[in-house]
Amino acid sequence: MRISQQLRLAVTAGVAGVLTLLGWSPAYATVGAASRTLPSFNGSVYAVAFLGGTVYVGGSFTAATTHGRQVERRRLAAFDARTGELLNWAPTADRTVRALAATGDSVYAAGDFGTASGAGRDALARFDARSGELGEFAHRVDGMPRALAVAHGRLFLGGDFTSVDGEDRTRLAAFRLADGALDEDWTPTADAPVYALATFGRRVYLGGSFHRTNQVRSTRRLSAVDAVSGDLDRDFRPQPTAVVHAVAADSSGVYAGLGGLGGRAEAWTTGGRQRWSRFFDGDVQAVAVLNGTAYVGGHFDRACLTANVDKFGDCDDDNRSRIKLAAIDADGDLADWAPQANGIQGVRAVTASRGLGAIAAGGDFTMVGGNARHRIAAFG
């Protein structure tokens, strides 16, 4: 789940007090590898979003456990970044929440659901960030949303859908934050699913399995469109060689998590030139960037120190243990950061808060660094 410029600005509110209580500082190149104690969840966490001193999570879970007591949390929950305490914020969804975006006083959710907090909501909903009250934001989505991002007064949606509110929208759409209406002018297209979105400056970066953006060839799997007009940015054509599961961006460029044989984390300049590529023995399903360091998650166990992998995707040469989580520094070197999670699917989402100097990860893991951490972890 990816942080826009607006979200970064919102997060800075009250930062001084948060940092004092958490002991987190954005000045370090990498965050700590030990996760603090947090609530645990009885099902997968697919999406994580920071807003101020709150962390929001979405997934397939139906309950959270805090202080040894289980409480109902049906696919949406929140906890206090200052204390790790589960909050009373408890809207519901009847099926899996796969993406979150938080900005201002709103938390947006997208996924497989047909109802939210007991009311009909077709795969997309807005909740009050404080009370959890369901908003009037309601649209008909013909297909499956998979990604959300916020920038330039818009909520961007990506996935595998063909229309919104009866209007043609081929795997991409935008809504005006001011009134919640579908943006009639933002109509880029992709010819196959969009799995990830990230925003920076005027660009919306798209990641997925597509081969054409706006019907233009050679824009496969990773591309950029204008956040206001939806026009294809023809200056950015990196063309990664495998499906892109996750995207993040900062002033230095773009970062992506890839599948393929083994899996990769890759970075490009804003002009589409590759900066670095790191190979793993499993898919990289999540990526976030903080202070120039890329934090990645997936279902890998080893980080390869060369590009050589065998026919099964395993590292052929020297490698390092990096179970489900790893970090790559600004030069493309594997960082020492190694929290060591567990599970088969491992980590599904990683997100960063520049204001808090923190990273949060969600997925299917139940242990991090030998300690019980059921499906959510936070590092600072």
- Side by side, the strands of the sheet bearing 194-200 are 194-200, 203-208, 222-226
- Tally of residues, the chain: 380
Tell me the sheet residues that pair with 371: 368
Phi and psi, residue 313, nearest 5° = 85, 5
DSSP letter for 237, please. -
Q: Of the candidates 206, 200, 236, 197, which has an alpha carbon nearest to the alpha carbon of residue 218?
A: 236
48-64 in b/e form (b: 16+ CB < 10 A) is: bbbbbbbbbbbbbbeeb
Average pLDDT over residues 288-307: 96
Query: What per-residue confidence (pLDDT) applies to 122?
Result: 97
CA distance 254 to 356: 21
CA distance 113 to 49: 19
Looking at per-residue pLDDT, the higher value among 41 and 3 belongs to 41
Average pLDDT over residues 231-249: 96
* CA dihedral for 301, 30, 243, 55, sign (positive or negative): positive
Give the pLDDT confidence of 315-360 residue by residue, as tens digits. 999 999 999 999 999 999 999 999 999 999 999 999 999 999 999 9
Give the pLDDT confidence of 125-183 residue by residue, as tens digits. 999 999 999 999 999 999 999 999 999 999 999 999 999 999 999 999 999 999 999 99
With 50 as the cut, is the pLDDT of residue 229 above it?
Answer: yes
CA distance 54 to 60: 20
**Cβ partners under 8 Å of residue 314, min gap 6:** 262, 281, 302
* CA dihedral for 366, 371, 372, 378, sign (positive or negative): negative
CA distance 246 to 326: 15
CA distance 239 to 204: 16
Q: Average pLDDT over the chain, rounded to whole? A: 92
What tokens appear for 192 in the block? 């196959």
pTM, two decimal places = 0.91
With 90 as the cut, is the pLDDT of residue 192 above it?
Answer: yes
Give the pLDDT confidence of 253-295 residue by residue, as tens digits. 999 999 998 899 999 999 999 999 999 999 999 999 999 999 9
Percent above pLDDT 90 for the chain? 88
What tokens appear for 75 in the block? 């696919």
- Residue 279 contacts residue 315 (beta carbons within 8 Å): yes
- Where on the phi/psi map is residue 233: left (φ > 0), alpha (ψ -120 to 50), or beta? beta
Q: Where do the structural domains in the chain lie, given as residue ranges?
A: 92-379
**Number of Cβ atoms within 10 Å of the Cβ of 370:** 8
With 90 as the cut, is the pLDDT of residue 20 above it?
Answer: no
Give the pLDDT confidence of 81-124 residue by residue, as tens digits. 888 999 999 999 999 999 999 999 999 999 999 999 999 999 99
**Centroid of chain to Cα 25:** 22
With 70 as the cut, is the pLDDT of residue 227 above it?
Answer: yes
Q: Of the candidates 12, 8, 41, which has an alpha carbon nearest to the alpha carbon of residue 373?
A: 41
CA distance 361 to 109: 17
Question: Measuring CA to CA, how many Å separate 332 from each of 19, 120, 156, 255, 268?
Answer: 28, 46, 30, 11, 11
Burial (0-12, 13-18, 19+ Cβ within 10 Å), 292: middle
User: For tokens 């070197």, what's the residue?
Assistant: 333
Average pLDDT over residues 207-222: 97
**Cβ partners under 8 Å of residue 298, min gap 6:** 245, 257, 263, 280, 282, 283, 284, 285, 286, 324, 346, 347
CA distance 139 to 125: 8
With 70 as the cut, is the pLDDT of residue 238 above it?
Answer: yes
CA distance 189 to 171: 6
Fold of the 92-379 domain: Methylamine Dehydrogenase; Chain H (2.130.10)
- Residue 10 contacts residue 52 (beta carbons within 8 Å): yes
* CA dihedral for 22, 23, 27, 30, sign (positive or negative): negative
CA distance 171 to 65: 36
Q: What is the DSSP string of 317-356?
A: S-EEE--SEEEE-TTSPBPS----B-SSS-EEEEEEETTT
